[in-house]
Structure formats: structure tokens, C-alpha cells
Structure 1
């Protein structure tokens, strides 16, 4: 089939950014028909009126339809005029939606190409941070302390893991290290800047209740060493000695939700006490 014979079966996707959003929408729509008969051609990063004229002229030769996501007014108006002058079928995917959302929010759109890809970058950074938190959870690999933005340190049941995951969703790479008197503290913990370490502690009575409940949930006797008050005091004293050696800020997480503790850490970052 020649190009002229293919007239009416070609769709030009035009964008002043990458154009993958527009192409996806077009393919989704075309899939409702015999889409093997439709050719889709994408034109990305169209930022010059002369390029618009070339695209429109080519579309006129094929009798192609133009579908576009163009936020820069100058380019959008040039494309609309070029389509109108040549009698081309064209469809603006983005502008009507921008208008509706702007009306709902009472805001004016930024009209900057490619912002969605910046959002995508944020998504991938979040995924990377979550994977980091899983990889370096519970002191699994001390080498991760060098790579971390924030290092959480504390005895068992001070919410190190859920706090690591919460902060990962805020795009911070977080490692955490459990403190146990019988287990040597990783040397890496004293080699990294104290400004990215946060100590977590709990009131002994609260920690006793939490650990007792934990043992019960596991079907273990509540009087195990793990939940005995003398053992808890030993661990907490050990932890505070480590905090003192590091010189890091310490947060008492007693009766605090993970979100509250995270908010304190974010405020410490904002104030310069913690420097990821």
C-alpha cells in the first residue's frame, strides 16, 4: 500500500515534550478498532513553528490525522492554524483537561513541557529508596551506612523498620542498625558523619509492654529475657552510650506514631541538625 493509499489511516502524534503520553492515549483509542490498519507516527520535542509547518504539510500529503499534547501556547496556536489552513483533522488531548483542572483548582497551568517526566523521576527515586531500606534493614550490610541519607539506630522495637519505610516514601535512603549489648557495633557507624545518624529510644515501661505483647503474639513465654525489665534497662543504657559516642540527636518514640517521629526527623533536617 502506498503512502497516498494509506491516507486516513495514519495518525501523527505531536508533542513539545516526549509525546509518550499522547501516543499511549492514541494507541488505547485505536485498540478499539482494527488497529493493525492504523499507522502511528510520533513527533517529539516540537518547539519551533517551522517544524509545525513541515509536520502539517506531511500530514496533508497523507491525509493523516494529528493528535497533540502541546502546552506552549505559541507552538499550539501554530499547529492549530496549520491544521486549519490545510483542512486537517486534529485533536488536542491536553488543553481541555488543563482548563477543567485549572477551573477546579482555581489555578493557572504552568505550561512547561515535560513536567510529567519529572514526576516520573520522583516515582523512581521513591522505588529506589524503598529498595534501599529493604536491603539495609536491621543492619544486614554495614556498607550501606556509607550510602544512606539517614541511619536509624536503636534497640529492638523502637520502630526502626517502619520509620525507614516511611522516610523512604519521602525519597530518603534509610538504613537502620539494631543495638544489642552482646553484638559489636559496626565500625562503619562511627566512621560516617554523626549528622546523618538518629538514635531512637523508648521509656523502659513502654518497651516492656511492647516486648511482652510481642512474645505473646509469637506464642512465647512472657518472662523470656527479651522482655525482662533488667534486660531492657541494660539494652537502653548500652544504646545511650552508643548515642553519646556518635554524638547524634536522640528521639524518644514513646507513644509516638511513626508519622510523628518522621515529622521530627524532617524538622531536624530542615533545621540542619540532620544533614543527609
Structure 2
């Protein structure tokens, strides 16, 4: 087994590892929810390879020292870590299902953690996989259980929200400032990536400020705000963008995010526990909703 830096030419093999690993996670989620698990041999959904390719190449460009693969002739594991200011985050960590439990995950984690040297804080959005949770706890992370919410928004309860507008390139400083206030580090170049792919909502008033990236279904991808009231305005505005009948997801909420739990319950979404927010030398950021990719 060889642990080596990720190369751009590894991308097809890496995508296969990610998709196979995520299929196992999706099957576990479906079983827990009482629904039929997806076909593990089904082709990736439309747009999935392009979205993940862009994300991987972005991180390879910004953090080449945090991009690693495990191989034995074939690539069977991948790890991507990033550093923003003095915050280290684990963006992706996958080992092909048939190679899990062989020590490959521990070997792959070593250079990823080495990349965190000099950082003051660490953050990981983790699945509920007990092996991953064990790995992160052994690395010194505190495991905060998280909630996953989903459902169709009850449009009749959507409130009239003022002070929220569409954002643009001129809001980069506001976004970075919101990041530093909530999690102690700006996202920097990740805002360029996110703003090209998602709708940006911004609130900038005398009483507070913040931002939220929203996907085409009205699901918040990432949110940071100076106050809970501003965060609720942004979340309600995101949900209002959901097309009628679309399933919305608001995920990775810790107990510190009751402001968000109140909104999703009022909007008619269901809530259940799933996974962890693993943190080192920091408390759960609030008011905040992390993205798994850029944390």
C-alpha cells in the first residue's frame, strides 16, 4: 500500500472511490429512514461527476499539501484537507468499501493530520460511521451529534422577510467577516467556488449581517450570521426559494443551532439525528450551518 499526493490524473479513480463509498452511506441512511436503499451499481445522478470533479480540482489547487490518495496499483482511498487562516478542515475522506477495515484509513489519515500542523482549530463534518467517529476522536476531536432535516416546505407558513437580498462579488468581505465571527476563519477562495454554483443571499443591516448559499431546491449549502435573528431571516429566505413540491434538506445542525431547528420545524420539515460535527479546540460555530466540503 502506498500513500502519495493526489494527482489530477487520478480524478476518474477518485470519483469511483467517492461514489462507491457514498453509496454505502446513502444505503445506511435509507435503511435508518425506513426506505429502500439505492442500487449500489446505479450510475451517478446527472451532474454528480462534474460537481465532485470541480470540488476536488478546486481543493487540489488551493491545498495541494492536503490532497492524498491510497493505492496498491489502483487508487482505493482519497483524503482532502484544507487550511483557511488557522483553521484546518477535512473536506473528504473515503476508502473503497472492499478495503475498509484493513488499516488503509488510518494510514491515509496520517498525512491529512500532518497538514494541520500550526493550525489552532479543526473541524470535520462526519457521517455516523462508527469507524470514522473512532478515528476522529482518537485524533483529538470532540464529537457533537448533529441533526438532519428534510421535507417539502409548507408555503403557507413562509413569513415576509425583509433585509435579505441577492448577493454578488461585492459581498466577499461581508462573507469572510461573517466566517471569522462564527468559526474564527474566513473561507477565502471557497467563496469564489460557491458563488459560481449557488445562489448567494445576503443580509446587511444595522442590527446584523450574514450570508447563505442556496441550491436549486432551496436547501442551504452554507450559512453564517452575526445574530440568530439574522440567521433565521436568511434560512427562511432560502426555504422560500424552493420550488413547490421540492424536497429541501437542512443538515449538520448541532444542539447549538436551535434557531435553525425552530425554523425547519415551523416550515414542516422532519428532524432526526445523523452524524457528528467533530471539532478540535473550538466550540460549535453559531449561528452557522457548515458545508461538508468547505466546513
> Shorter-chain-normalised TM-score: which range?
under 0.3
- The structure that is helix-richer by fraction is 1
> Larger radius of gyration, structure 1 or 2?
1
- The answer to which structure, 1 or 2, has the higher relative contact order (CA under 8 A, 6+ apart) is 2
- The structure that is strand-richer by fraction is 2
TM-score by length of 2: 0.19
